[in-house]
Amino acid sequence: MRILFFSVATLLLLLLGCKPTQSLISFPLEEERTMDTIFVSANELDIESPELLDETGEEEQIAATNYELPAFNASQTRTHDLLHTKLEVSFNWEKATSEWKSLFEDEATFLCY
C-alpha cells in the first residue's frame, strides 16, 4: 500500500505540473523512491524456496517471513579514542630470506596513550 501511495501521489503531482506544451511523463507505476532521503527497503526472498514456505500456508505468516534486510556494511563502532602510536622496529633480512613465509620479522614495541 505504501508503494502504491508513493507512486500515485508522485504521478498526480507530475500530471498536475505538466504544461500544455509538454509531453506526458511516463515511468513505472511501482517506482519506490524519494528524492530527498535515502530509502532502504527489505528485499523479497524467493518464495519458491521450500524452506521459506510456512507449514500452515497462511498468507500473513508467509509475508512475515518473506523479507530480509539488504547487505549493509556499517562503520566501525568506536569504543576508544586512540591518541598516539609509537613504534620501534628493526628488520631481520636473513630470516626473511631463509623462510619465505616469514618475510617479515621485527622486534617492535607499540605504545598507545
Partner 1 sequence: MKPLFYATNEVTLDAKGFEFKQLSFAGKSDNLKYQYDGQQVKIDLGKTFTRKDTFELFFDYVATPEQSGGSDAITSDKGLFFINADGTEDKPQQIWTQGETENNSRWFPTFDKPNERCTQEIYITVQDKYKTLSNGLLTKSTKNADGTRTDYWKMDQPHAPYLFMLAVGDFAVVQDRWKDIPLEYYVEPKVPRTGQRDIFSSYPLKMLGVLFRIKLGCKNIHGKKYSQVVVRDYVSGAMENTSAVVFGEFMQGDKDFLMDNLTNEKVVAHEMFHHWFGDYVTCESWANLTMNEGFANYSEYLWLEHKYGKDDADYHWLQELRGYLGQGETLPLIRYGYGDKEEMFDAHSYNKGGMVLHMLRQLVGDEAFFAALNLYLTRNAYTEVEADELRLAFEDITGRDLIWFFDQWYFNAGHPVLDITYGYDAASKMVSVAVEQQQKGDQIPPIFQIPTTIDIYLGEGKKISKEVLVNQRKQFFEFEVPNAPKLVNFNSDKKLLAVVEENKSDEEYVFQYYNAPTYLDRYEALQALGESESPLASSVFQAALDDKFYGLRELAVYQVNINNETIQKKAIYLAENDPKAAVRRAALEQLSSVEGEDFSALFERVIKNDVAASVKTAARLAVSDRYAATDNLQYLTFFEENWDKVDNYDAIAFFRNYAALAAKGDVTQIQSSADKLKVIAVKESSIWKRFSAMNAIFGMHTLLAQQMEEDATKATTFKALDDNLLQMIQDIKSQEKDSQLQQVYNARFN
Q: Which of 67, 41, 70 is nearest to 52 (CA)?
A: 67
Task: Quote the CA–CA distance of 32 and 105 in Å, as a whole number.
Answer: 55
Q: Which three cell numbers stand for residue 32?
A: 519506490
Site map (CB under 8 A) of partner 1, residues 32-71, x = contact: -x-xxxx-------------------------------xx
Region from 1-9, 48-56, 59-67, 75-83 binding partner 1, contact rule CB under 8 A: 75-83
In angstroms, give the least distance from the CB of 14 to partner 1.
7
C-beta of residue 53 within 8 angstroms of C-beta of residue 46? no
Neighbours of 98 (CB within 10 A): 9
Q: Which residues bind partner 1 (CB under 8 A)?
A: 14, 18, 21-28, 31, 33, 35-38, 70-76, 78-91, 93, 96-97, 101-113
